[in-house]
Amino acid sequence: MIESDSTVPSIGQIVLPLKGREAGTYSVVVQQLDERFVLIADGDRRKFDRAKRKNIGHLQLFDYVSPEVQNSIIETGKVTNGKLRYAVTKFVNEVLIDEKKGDMFDG
């Protein structure tokens, strides 16, 4: 798994909540609140305007930052739910599936 070494997530970074109702569903960091908490959203069940506050310790951080989401938030302070869905889908389809294909050839 391509986990990040950093303990502070970046805006646009893909995360996997380990605790709570969102556990097991990929989301995107949309705002850093302080050194312990971030806001996450996935654009589907959890929209940008109702982002969930999560403890960083309850998140698995991945070494993947969506440039579309990051640029949109830096430029305008917000992002569309479509871009969030796109970022999560792109991560799952490109990064995770490619990683699983690589695992099949390691045997």
Q: What is the pLDDT of residues 73-94, one digit of tens each?
A: 999 999 999 999 999 999 999 8
Domains and CATH numbers, the chain: 13-106 (2.30.30.30)
Return the structure tokens found at 10: 């970046």
Per-residue pLDDT for 30 more than 80?
Answer: yes
pLDDT at position 106:
52
The arithmetic mean of pLDDT across residues 60-85, rounded, is 95
Instruction: Please check the confidence at residue 27 and state whether its pLDDT lies above 90.
Output: yes
In the chain, % of residues over pLDDT 90:
77
The band of 99, judged by pLDDT with boundaries at 50, 70 and 90, is: confident
Q: What is the DSSP letter of 15?
A: E
Nearest to residue 83, comparing CAs of 47, 35, 33, 31? 47
* Distance separating alpha carbons of residues 67 and 13, to the nearest angstrom: 9
- Is the pLDDT reported for residue 107 higher than 80? no
- Is there a contact between 59 and 38 (Cβ–Cβ < 8 Å)? yes
